[in-house]
Every structure is written in C-alpha cells, then in structure tokens.
Amino acid sequence: MDPRHLQSARALRAAYAAREVGPSDVVDALLTRIARLDADLHAFLHVDADRARAEAATWDERYAGRTSPAGLPPLAGVPVAVKDNMCTRGSPTTCASRILEGWRPPYDATVVARLRDAGAIIVGKTNLDEFAMGSSTEHSAFGPTRNPWDRTRVPGGSSGGSAAAVAAGMVPLALGSDTGGSVRLPAGFCGVVGMKPTYGRVSRYGLVAFASSLDQIGPFALDVADCALLLRSIAGWDPQDSTSAQVPVPDYVAALEQGAAGIRLGVPEEAFGPGVDSAVAAALHQALEVFAAQGLPVARISLPTIEAALPAYYLLAPAEASTNLARYDGVRYGLRAAPDDLYEMTAETRRGFGAEVKRRIMLGTYALSAGYYEAYYLKAQRVRTLVARDFERVFQQVDVVVMPVAPTPPFVLGERAQDPLQMYLSDVFTIPVNLAGLPGLALPCGFHAGLPIGLQLVGRAFDEATVLRAAYAYERATPWHRERPPMAAAA
Amino acid sequence: MAKQTLVHDETVIGLEIHVQLLTASKIFCGCATTFGAPPNTLTCPVCLGLPGALPVLNRRAVELGLRTALALNCRVAPRSQFHRKNYFYPDLPKNYQISQYQYADHSPLATDGRLEIVVEDRRLEVGIRRVHLEEDTGRLVHDAGLSSGGSLIDFNRSGVALMEIVTEPDLRSPLQAREFLTALRRLLQFAEVSTGRMEEGTLRCDANVSLQRRGGPPGTRTEVKNMNSIRSVERALAFEIERQRTLAARGEAVVQETRHWEEHREVTFASRAKEEAQDYRYFPEPDLVPLVVDAAWIEQVRGLVPELPAARRDRFIAVFGLSPYDAELLTATPTTAAFYERAVALFPHPKTIANWLIGDVTAHLNETGRDLDQVALTPHRLSALLRLIDDGTISGRIAKDVLVEMIREDRDPAAIIETRGLRQISDQDALAQVVDAVIAEHPGPVAEVRAGKARAIGFLVGQVMKATGGRANPEAVNRLLRSRLVS
Amino acid sequence: MTIDPETVERVARLARLALTAEDHERFAGQLDHILEYCAQLNALPLADVPPTSHVIPIINVLRDDAVTPSLDRDEVLAQAPAHAGGFFRVPKVLEGG
C-alpha cells in the first residue's frame, strides 16, 4: 500500500495542501484496505463508503487552489472511524447489540457534529463489546474484533474496533468511549495512543449511555500529536450535556511544543503488585528509565485504594447501566418481540441482550434494590470518594502518575470470556481513573512476544495538556509508535 | 391557630397533587408544551428517551417551583438533587422518571410549608410536607378502533414540567379536601404558576385516606386515584370513607391498596392489575447536577411573585371599601379580580361595580355555565353600561336586560340601546301624557292613593312603566304621580 | 452468601429480563461470585466518608425556557416497531399499571 495514504492526520493535511495526494485518493485507498483487511479483523460494523467518497470529493475541491491547510477546519478531509455507540444520524448505530440492530438515530451525537464541523470524513462505525460492557470486544452480538498484532488474541475492549482500525492503518483517527478503561485498554493492547479525557471535558450527548457518571468519549491515534489534535476538535462545553464543563479548551497540539521539563512524575508501588505480569512490569521499569534519561525522574508513590476501585466500579457501573438500559423495551425503537402481551413483549424483547449485558443489568438492579442500596451502591459511592481523595493527595506531590494500562499483555480470544471476574481484572489500573474522573492516556511502551504493552499516564482534572506533554516526551524518545502490525505492514 | 387533633373515629386524609407548570418548553428539553398538538409532534431525543439523549433543567420550572414554595411558606432546601425513580411502563420513555426523592439528609426542592384554608367559617392550617419537581409521562390512549385491542401512546406530554405537592395528613373530611384544593388552585392561578384545571389535567390529585380512633394507632390507608375534578375528589373520599366505616363495623380489615374512582358508577374499586410491591430503586440522577438555591435567588423569586389571593382580598377591602365577603368573591380567580380592578379604574364606583359583578353578571354566568373569561364582557363595556345608568340614559331595570344582550350579542351597550330604542324617557311632557292616561284608566288605585295609601302608587308606577315598555324614568314618574295625586 | 432463586426471580422481574432455567443458575452463581468479591469493601473505613454522586463540582446547570424545534414525526415513527395514526402502538395495557 502506498505509504502516502497511511500517514497521520497532521501529515495528511499537509500532503493535501501540497497536492501530494488528495482526500479522494486517501479515502479510496483506505476503503480498499478496509475491504481487504476487515474480513479478518472485523473492526467495522458499518462502512459508509458512498458518503465518504462524496465528502472526499468535496474536500478535493476545497483544497484545490491552496498551498497550506490554513483556513480549512482542523481535520479537513481526514478519514475517521466512530465507535458504534455514538449516534450518527441516518446511519446505523447498533451498540453491537441485537436490540438496536438496524436502528438509525434521527440525530447526531455532539462529537459527531463536531467531527463534521472539523471537516473529518466519517468512514464507518466500529465494533465494540455490546453497549460498551466488556474489556475484549468479545461480547459484541456481531462477532469479535481481532487484534491486528495477533489475530488469535483480543484487541481489548470495549472500543476494540476503533483501536484495531487505527492500528491496522484503516483510518488515522478514531473515537472510542471509556467507562472503566474502554479506550485505554484497547489502545494498550493494539499498540496505539488512546485517551480518556477528564469527566466533563467532552460532551456525552449522543453517546449511548452505559454508566452516566463514568462515561467519556476519547480519541485514538497513531501518535500523541494526532491524539492531541483530535481531542481539541471534540472537547469543550456542550449546553445539551449538563455534566459537561465550562472550562476553556487549550491548544493541546501547541502545548506539546512546550516540552516536558519540570513535570513531576510518580509511579504507585501497586503497579508492581503480584497480579502484574512480569512482561508488563519489565516494560514499565524500562519506561521509567526512559523518563529518567529525559530528565524526568519518576518518584515512588502509593495509591492504596487502587485495589478497592475495581469492586466499587462493578457495583456503581452496572447500577447506572441497569437503569440506562431500561429504555430498551421495544416500544419506540429497536427490536420488538412477542407482540401480544405488554409484559411479555418487553421481557422477550430484552432477551435480545447478550449474556454480559444481562449479567450487569442483574447485578446493577440488585445493587440498587430495596434493602441493598446502602450495602452496595452507597458503599461503592463512598469508596469512590476515597479513590478521588487518594489521587488528590498524590497530585500534591506529582503532576502525572505513571502506571501500566493492563496487568497482562493481550490475552487469547475465548480465554476469559466465560469467567466474568477474570475479565474484570483487566481493568484494575484503568478503573480508578474513571472513578476519580481524571484524564488518562495510553501509549505503546514495548512488546512482549510481538504483543504490544501499553503505558498509562494520568493527570489532574482538566490538565490533559500536561499528560500529553509527558506522553510526547516519552514518545519522541522511543521507537514504539513507528511499529506496525505485521499483517498490516504487509498489506 | 392550631392544627386539628384527632377525635373519636376520625378520617385522616392526605393529598398528593401534581401541577403542570406554566413553562413554554418542557422541563428537560426545548420541546413546546402546547396543549392539543397532533400526537408525537412535540418530541425530541430527550423526551422520547432515545439512546444517547441527556436532560438539561429548565430554569423557569425551578423558579415556578420556588415561587410556589414561598407562597406555601415552605423551607427551601439550600441544596437538592434529582433522582431516578425506576419502573417500567410504556408511557415512561426511559422506564425511569426523573423526580426528586426525600430520604435521610436528601431534601427535595422545598419542605415544611402550610396553607391556611377556611371551612365553614373555621380557619384550618394544612401542612405541606414537600414540594418537588419532576417530569410528566406520555399519554396512553386505549385504541378502541382496533379489533385486536392495543394501546396508543402520544409522547407530547412526556417531559412537561410537573410540580408535586404533598400535604401532611391534616384534612379531616371530604369537604376540607375540597376547600383545600380550591384554595390551592386559586393560589397557583394567582401566582401564575399553573392554570390549575383538573378537567384539563393541569392539576391532578390522588388522595390517601384512613380511619383512626383517638389515641389509637394509624388506620390502614388506601390510595384513591382517577378523580378528575374537585367535586370528584369530594365524592370519592366520601364513598371511600363510608366503605371503610362499613368494613370496620363488620369487623373486617381495610386492605392497603390503590383504588380507582369510577365517575359514572360513583364507586372506588381495587385496581385489577396485579399489585406488585414497587421497588423504585431511587438513586441520584447522574445526568443532572445538584441545584443550589441561595438567599439571593430566593429573594429575587420572592420579588417576582404576583399578588397572592389573601393580599389581593385585603387590598380590595382596604382600598375599595368592600366587605370581606364581597372581596372574597371578587378575588375567587385572577380573572375576576383583574376584571374588577380594571372596571373600577374606568368607572370609579367600586361598590356599584362589585354589586353588578357579584349580582347580575354572576347570575348570568351561572345560568349559562360559563366563566368570566369565556364571555364577551369586558371591563370597558361594563363600565360603559354603568355610566349610562349614572347619567340617566337608561334605567337600572333596563340595564339588566342590556347586560344580557351585550354578552349574548357581543355588542357595546350604546349600540344596543340605540337599536332597541331603550333610552329612558325623562321628558316631562311625554311622561305627563302617559301618567295622565294611567290615572284616567285606574280610578280605584288613584282613589286609594288620595286616601293616603301611599303603597298604591307603586301599582300606578308599574302601569306607567308597562305603558312605556319599561323606559320611563321611575323617579320622574313617581314625582309626576305625587304631584298629581298628593297635595 | 448465596443468592436464592426467589431473589434472582425478583430481580429479573424488576429488570424485565426473561431468564431461562439455565440463566437462573448461571447468574445466581456468577452474581454470588462477584458480590463476594465486592465484599472486600466492607473492610474499608467508610463510616465518615460521604458518598460521591457527582465527581465534578458543577452545580446549577440551567437552560432558558425557550422552545426549540422538535423532531420530525415521520423520521421518528419510521424507526418505531409499530405505529398508527401518529401514535406509537403497543399491546393493550391493563388499567392501573
């Protein structure tokens, strides 16, 4: 494949302006690539080829007669993919569930509207664990996505489709959503950059809700600068989302040029605990040395509540999810079954949920039910306070916390799908960040037996800029971001 | 003035009232709240509960809620939140309702208020337990047209701003319940918070009722629903109390249940649907942030509260010299009060206008079953009519007929008087002719008058009035007769 | 701690989930397992810790009482499983639900 079609978003914009290649060339090439690779990877649930080509043609014209991308919106003519739990008007939005199979929303999510305003070409919708519940994309009703680095393994979840699409060079940018790690984990497993912004940084309007107090939409990209570009394009206050923050959006891309000098880093001792695979621990140690060599020594800190965060999350998130998913009853949209009796209609319709979703609805309903609210839900909310306080304490001493993304490298398909608790343990390092509402970024920090290992950087609320700067410094000093999965490099 | 204490075998009634607030848009989205629009034309992702939709709170709904809280002398919570009330029902798009729950240290918008009412000349204080905001549901319509049955749903109403007012169980009779609802409705109308019409569903009432012996434990409560007028509430409560009394007399227990009022059969019946203990699984709504109401905001709201009924009434007594009874009648609704004030501004004779409004106008309205704002009578026209009496153009007697014509034909009084030739006859010569003719025709009564029976003059006056089609100036007729017959 | 079948049934009803006998057993076991795992939270010093229901300190997000355009009914009903005369249609609902 022509490498000019496989560039970062920033490089593409410059290339378009320099007339080295046009948006139509790139979109055509990527659509062909998707058609060739996706039968195997299954990153996409829906590809909007006609619309993408039509939009690309428009951008061809807009770039003609220009020598620089200045004056054009920041993502003009850049192909992107969107996780299939964000509403795209008139286009299927299934959340990888039979319940919403064929549903076409009558409205765009705010982030989708912002992508369009930024000039991005939405190529298609990517696969996920059903309703974003999962850590491997194996719980999709339409089949799993495979890890481009090793197709017998999972790409991580729940935004596995978006991560795989970027890793395999199908699109330079993609959006995912992260409730307990669903952007960071697949980014780590697929060797790409992925970020969960501060809660409230990016609008949730049009994101099909999983756990309302934890969900955030975040960018996937091949490098930190592209990630910064995409984040800037979607971040910012939305009057249609009461939980979105009225905090100005800095120029994250420009911030990278500031460098990372003076940023204080810390690594919690819990990152080296017994549950962490030796390969991951080794990669982490190596990363700490890279930082130190950059003049950024990493202090030893402690986050003792990390362990408690996971069980608290598995009470809070399912509880909120159980009510968020109550609307799927066959009345107004989506699947409807057994139409004769109302109660039966609802219950039979909801058979359309997969096992993991049903399990979480059961768990969540139980945690909220009379007699158990104090013991479970309320208790979990108190633990949440402890986790937030823990990070607050740590951020008095450091500016960025360094941790693994996951305790293990990507596991084999089917290995954990039958044991929910085992699956949940993948999120041990990502969940605390959602509970505290803080920004977290994942980027590649090494390989083990050809499988990517991800590094996670966590910052203060609304301080994405510092996290990005630290990540950028690490990236510039390492070769990982230049690696491509063999199957994709050969294509 | 104390609250009522329980006496031997008293009824204990508490009311739960839902009020549709006068906002242009819904509580969590910008869809219009227009009544009577074609089904499902006022919906959006938020009020349809589409995947991905999020609520944003309407400021005016909060202000109207605060206004009501102040009018009911409530304690406004400095901080309150919304909660999800979870249950499945097809008219509830998300299968949870965003409402406000009261528990532990979580307070809804306002609590601990009171409304004073007057029942049979006694003043009673009814406690208000809480006032909170929530969203309305859609409307379920049973589809009679389909042979297979089926229900139809219109979500235009889904998301309309509702305010729930819950009273303490301080009411002791159906009459008290009726008076409370009447007073509450009036307050809500004057405060411009709601139109408060039960028939239109902008005011809805459920009642809880039990019997209790003095000093005894609380009786078993039943909840009564589906009453669609204030009279209905009174009748339903009367029926339910009688039903419970009958059970008690037979030694049978009252079952704690929800009962529906059947208007036509005038009975309450237990709901046919299987009664499942409802577990609403309340928890704080994560999609809405807490509401913090500070003293400054409360004062701002207080400054914008329209004049409430009691204050209006007192002002009418003080400024217009009306009796408390008349002032009460003239402030029964905001429309009447506004009408009265405007009319007095145009024709500054407050007592005259009061008499006409309370007397002839009300009589006509009652007869035709209409309200003041439904008829073609304006303060301008009423004051014009009264001015025509005042300057002698027509008699008071004729004016009563003209009033009815004005309303029926939607015309100005002057036009009616001209068309029907109703001008009062005051011309001395014209009247003298008629008077002389009547004297000549009725020698008997004339003789009685001359004999000193002054009352017989009335008969003669009546005859003159009859002969002139009622248009003779009665004072002038009287003077003429006296001058002729009484020396 | 074991979650008894009645509880599983009650929770399933609350959530309107139709479970097979197999589902019942599987869920009971899995939920048990998960809740046991969550029991470790009981060891934490939570007595004076206030619960967090909102992780960001935003308050009073209000919108003006302005009417904005509603959705086109045809576009909405086009996605409805059943509709008639502008209404959504469902099987008959028993009174007093």
C21 inside 8 A of chain A by CB = no
Contact C66 B290 (CB under 8 A): no
Q: Which residues of B touch C50 (CB under 8 A)?
A: none
CB B159 within 8 A of CB B27: yes
- Which of A435, A308, A312, A306 is closest to A379 using CA atoms? A312
C73 vs chain A: nearest CA distance in angstroms? 10
CB A128 within 8 A of CB A139: no
What is the C-alpha separation between B219 and A115, in angstroms, rounded? 62
- Give the pairing of strands A400-404 and A440-448: unpaired
> Strand pairing partners for B204?
B18
Mean of per-residue pLDDT scores for chain B: 91
CB A309 within 8 A of CB A440: no
A347 inside 8 A of chain C by CB = yes
Q: Which DSSP symbol is given to C85?
A: T
Residue B147: predicted pLDDT? 54
CB B72 within 8 A of CB B165: yes
A4 inside 8 A of chain C by CB = no
Contact C55 A347 (CB under 8 A): no
3-state secondary structure of A13: helix
Q: CA A97: distance to chain centroid? A: 18
Q: Is the dihedral of CA A299, A303, A304, A310 positive or negative?
A: negative
CB-closest option in C18, C50, C56 to A350:
C18
> Strand pairing partners for C90?
B151
Q: Which residues of A touch B286 (CB under 8 A)?
A: 211-213, 243, 320
What is the C-alpha separation between B91 and C93, in angstroms, rounded? 10
Q: How confident is the model at residue B398 (pLDDT cuts 50, 70, 90)?
A: confident
Nearest CA in chain B to A210: B52
A141 vs chain B: nearest CA distance in angstroms? 18
3-state secondary structure of B16: strand
Return the number of CB contacts < 8 Å for A and C. 158
C61 vs chain A: nearest CA distance in angstroms? 6
DSSP for B384-448, written as a single string: HHHHHHHTTSS-HHHHHHHHHHHHHHT--HHHHHHHHT---B--HHHHHHHHHHHHHH-HHHHHH
**Whether this model's pTM surpasses 0.95:** no
CB B478 within 8 A of CB B461: yes
Return the number of CB contacts < 8 Å for B and C. 136
C77 inside 8 A of chain A by CB = no
What is the C-alpha separation between A397 and A263, in angstroms, rounded? 11
Q: Which residues of C touch A424 (CB under 8 A)?
A: 34
> Strand pairing partners for B25?
B32
Dig out the tokens for B480 from the structure: 């003429």
Dig out the tokens for A337 from the structure: 């079954």
Chain segment A385-438, per-residue pLDDT in tens = 999 999 999 999 999 999 999 999 999 999 998 888 888 889 999 999 999 999
Mutate one of A323, A329, A382 to test the C interface: name it (highest C CB count within 10 A).
A382
What is the C-alpha separation between A420 and A404, in angstroms, rounded? 21
Least confident of A30-39, B106-115, B210-219: B210-219
Residue B450: predicted pLDDT? 85
Q: CA B241: distance to chain centroid? A: 25
Looking at chain B, how many residues does it have?
Answer: 487
What is the C-alpha separation between A483 and B433, in angstroms, rounded? 123
CB A236 within 8 A of CB A267: no
Contact C58 B289 (CB under 8 A): yes
Residue C96: predicted pLDDT? 43
C49 inside 8 A of chain B by CB = no
Does residue C93 carry a pLDDT above 80? no
CB B142 within 8 A of CB B151: yes
B30 inside 8 A of chain C by CB = yes
Contact C76 B290 (CB under 8 A): no
Per DSSP, which regions of A120-222 are E strands? 121-126, 173-178, 193-196, 216-221
Enumerate domains of chain B plus CATH numbers. Answer: 10-300 (no CATH), 309-420 (no CATH), 428-485 (1.10.10.410)
Does residue B2 carry a pLDDT above 60? no
Q: How confident is the model at residue C97 (pLDDT cuts 50, 70, 90)?
A: very low
Residue B233: predicted pLDDT? 97
Chain segment B123-170, per-residue pLDDT in tens = 999 999 999 999 999 999 876 666 567 899 999 999 999 999 999 999
Residue B146: predicted pLDDT? 60
Mutate one of C70, C77, C89 to test the B interface: name it (highest B CB count within 10 A).
C70
Residue A89: predicted pLDDT? 96
- Angle at which helix B474-485 crosses helix B428-441, to 10 degrees, equals 60
DSSP for C18-55, written as a single string: ---HHHHHHHHHHHHHHHHHHGGGGGS--TTPPP-S-S
What is the C-alpha separation between A297 and C60, in angstroms, rounded? 42
Residue B6: predicted pLDDT? 54
Q: Is the dihedral of CA B146, B199, B58, A317 positive or negative?
A: negative
Chain segment B344-369, per-residue pLDDT in tens = 999 999 999 999 999 999 999 999 98
Give the Å distances, CA to CA, from A384 to A380, A381, B434, B439, C55.
6, 5, 100, 103, 9
Active site residues of A: 83, 158, 182
Contact B284 C13 (CB under 8 A): no
B31 inside 8 A of chain C by CB = yes
Query: What one-letter code names the amino acid at C61?
Result: V
Largest CA distance in chain A: 70
Residue C64: predicted pLDDT? 98
Chain segment B66-88, per-residue pLDDT in tens = 999 999 999 999 999 999 999 99
Tell me what ipTM this predicted complex has.
0.96
Contact B52 A319 (CB under 8 A): no
Does residue B95 carry a pLDDT above 50? yes
List strands edge to edge, sheet with B161-167: B75-76, B110-119, B122-135, B161-167, B10-20, B203-212, B222-227, B258-262, B267-270
B23 inside 8 A of chain C by CB = yes
Q: Which residues of B touch A377 (CB under 8 A)?
A: 283
Query: What one-letter code names the amino acid at B263?
Result: E
Q: Which DSSP symbol is given to B361?
A: I
CB A208 within 8 A of CB A93: yes
- Which of B246, B248, B224 is closest to B236 using CA atoms? B224
CB-closest option in A315, A359, A379 to C46:
A379
Which residues of chain A fall short of a pLDDT of 50? none
CB A101 within 8 A of CB A27: no
Q: Which DSSP symbol is given to C70?
A: P
C44 inside 8 A of chain B by CB = no
CB-closest option in A106, A199, A315 to C56:
A199
Dig out the tokens for A91 from the structure: 């286009």
Does residue B274 carry a pLDDT above 70? no
